[in-house]
Structures are given as structure tokens and as C-alpha cells.
Amino acid sequence: MKHSEIVAQAHPNIALIKYWGKRDARLNLPAVGSLSITLSQLETCTRIARHAAAPDDCVYIDELLLDGAPAETELRTRLQTLANQMWRNNGPPPVLAIDTHNNFPTAAGLASSASGYAALVTGLDSILDCHYDDSELSTFARIGSGSAARSLYGGFVLMDKGLQEDGSDAIARPLLGADEWPLDVVIAVTSTTSKQTSSTDGMERTRATSPFFPAWCAGQETDLAAASSAVRARDFDQLADLSEYSCLKMHGLMMAAQPGLLYWNAATLACLHEIRALRNRGVGVFFTVDAGPQVKAICAPGEGDAVAAILGEIDGVITLHRAGLGEGARVVAAR
């Protein structure tokens, strides 16, 4: 059934075993696999309206709004290319209007591109009447953003780096459902400004200049296997050790690029020290930080309130977000 308008929703995901670096930048093929959790509460909501047939025998986006403001021409061109890659030539291609909103800061280290592209791909699949299977949708989401494929699923998600040159095996797959191990997440926002170096540019700089990049790639499969086992066993302490190890390895890798990438600020470091202190006192919590200054405290069930109370008092923490483990991307309204 062809719809004239749909609304798709997706949540950001946070990698516990990190993804950083690409083996093929054109196809967004990751150099390493990753393991993530999809968050509840934080969300991207994308409305796509379908108008009359496009004039040039291809899908055309005539309006693109991002958080209420017109998006840059470059982004609209990228999304239009993605829409045409998804188009199955099943009737006249439409003109589309897209309006997408995040209820959290954009481009500030909170995985807005992951939830954004996951919502977009899910919405395009519906509005264009494509009916792609999960692996195909995962491929399209990955082309948009390397981590977006993981936001197609809820709970704990594995992303395979793949071996094929065309990226057909570089897809995400669910590992454990959100309700099977309901962890708490406290996010300490220490900056609301966009980061100076995008993840895309930062990854390429790191791959090209960091002396630690080969070692990063070589050790990833061992980390992934151990973390996957910890998730299946619900072993919080083991997952904590592996996640902090992966986080610090990734940031050490980036800091050793030329010039070095420094995404943290003083409040970031203060949060990391406090989380370590809490864990040493027996509180079930560990940290992870993506390419940005925001700190994600992953908490054992029931520990979120105590952790939030401590992090909220740290100088430089602007606000806190609370979340659990959330659902995958989905269409929430259609007409």
C-alpha cells in the first residue's frame, strides 16, 4: 500500500565495543566490527510526505528540514542519492518533503546521525513502497552513516565489519533484546555545540596518520567475542571492563593522529574519574565516550538514580539525559 505521508522513529545507539575507521569510505565499510546498545528516550522523528511525480524520472527531495531549519544543499543531495538507490522503479518516482527532529543535541557526540539515517531509511522503505529485508535495510543505513545500521535494532546489537568488497556482509544483527537485560543509561552532556571535527573526517585522519591504527584493527575481534559472551551471560563486570578498555583504546588511537583529535573537555574527564570512583565503591556503573565530549554512564539495573545524582553535581555538566534500552527503528504513523 502506497502512503502519502509517514512518520518514522529511531533511537541513537552507543557503541560499547567501538567502531572507528573505515576500510572503504565510499561505501562506509567499517574497518572493525562493533557492539552497541540502542537507547530509549532519545529519539529522531522523521516525517516524509510524498507529492506528485518527479519531473526527471528520479526521486526528488524538494524540502528538507533538520530541527526546523532548512538543511544544507550537500545533505539534501546525499539523501536524494540514497533515496534513488532505494527506489525500486515501481511506478513514477515521487517528489518528497522530509522534516526530521531530534529531541537531543545534533552533531555533538550523541549519535544523531545513527538515529537520523535509521529513521530515514525506515521511512523511505515505507513511503517508496520498497519492502526491503533487514539485511538490505542495514546496508542502506550503513551507506548513510556507518553506525546507523545498528539503530535499526533494539537492545544489544552487533555490527559485522564484513569481508566482501561490495559490503554485502557488513550488516548489523540483533544480539539481545532490550527487555532481556534492562540496563540504565545516564548521559552527562558537557557541551551542546557541534564538534569541530566530524566523525567522518576524524576517522580518515586517524586511519591515515595514527601509528596505533593497525593494532586497533588487530585486537577488535577478540574484544567483540569476549563482549558478546559477557552480554549473553549478563556479566556486568566483564562487560564493564571490556567497554572501558575499548573506549580508552579508541580515544588513545585518535589522540595519536596528526594532528591529534581531542574530543574531551574538563567536565568529560571529571565524569570519568567520578564513575571510576563509584565503581570502586561497588556501584554497578561504567563509562563510555564516543567522538564528542558527552559521557555515557552504563548502569546496572537500579543504579541509575544514584549515578545521576553524582554526575549532576559535577562542574561543567550542563544537563543529564536518562534512558534505558530502546526499540529499533519503526514507522509510527502512516496515511
Q: Dihedral sign for Cα 190, 195, 196, 201, please.
A: positive
pLDDT at 109 over 80: no
Which range, of 114-123, 157-166, 195-204, averages the lowest pLDDT? 195-204
Q: What is the pLDDT of residue 254?
A: 97
Q: Could you tell me the CA-to-CA distances from 4 to 8, 30, 123, 198, 205 in Å, in that order?
A: 13, 35, 12, 35, 43
Work out the mean pLDDT of the chain and round it to a whole number. 94
Percentage of the chain lying above the pLDDT 70 cut: 98
Q: What is the pLDDT of residue 26?
A: 87
Taking only the tens place, the pLDDT of each residue in 258-275 is 999 999 999 999 999 999
186: helix, strand or coil: strand
Upper half-sphere CA count for residue 199 (Cβ side, 13 Å): 26
Mean pLDDT computed over 77-104: 91
Reported confidence tier of residue 106, pLDDT bands at 50, 70, 90:
low
pTM of this prediction exceeds 0.75: yes
Reported confidence tier of residue 289, pLDDT bands at 50, 70, 90:
very high
Q: What is the pLDDT of residue 183?
A: 97
Residue (of 137, 138, 140, 159) closest to 36 by Cα position = 159
Taking only the tens place, the pLDDT of each residue in 221-247 is 999 999 999 999 999 999 999 999 999
Asked if residue 206 lies in contact with residue 257, where contact means CB atoms within 8 angstroms, the answer is: yes
Reported confidence tier of residue 110, pLDDT bands at 50, 70, 90:
low
Reported confidence tier of residue 149, pLDDT bands at 50, 70, 90:
very high
Which range, of 24-28, 132-136, 180-184, averages the lowest pLDDT? 24-28
Q: What is the pLDDT of residue 18?
A: 97
Q: What is the pLDDT of residue 55?
A: 76
Q: What is the pLDDT of residue 112?
A: 84
Q: What is the pLDDT of residue 199?
A: 87
pLDDT at 54 over 80: no
Q: What is the pLDDT of residue 1?
A: 59
Asked if residue 291 lies in contact with residue 195, where contact means CB atoms within 8 angstroms, the answer is: yes
Reported confidence tier of residue 20, pLDDT bands at 50, 70, 90:
very high
Reported confidence tier of residue 170, pLDDT bands at 50, 70, 90:
very high
Mean pLDDT computed over 211-228: 97
pLDDT at 108 over 60: no
Domains of the chain by range and CATH? 5-179+327-334 (3.30.230.10), 184-323 (3.30.70.890)
Total Cβ atoms within 10 A of residue 58: 13
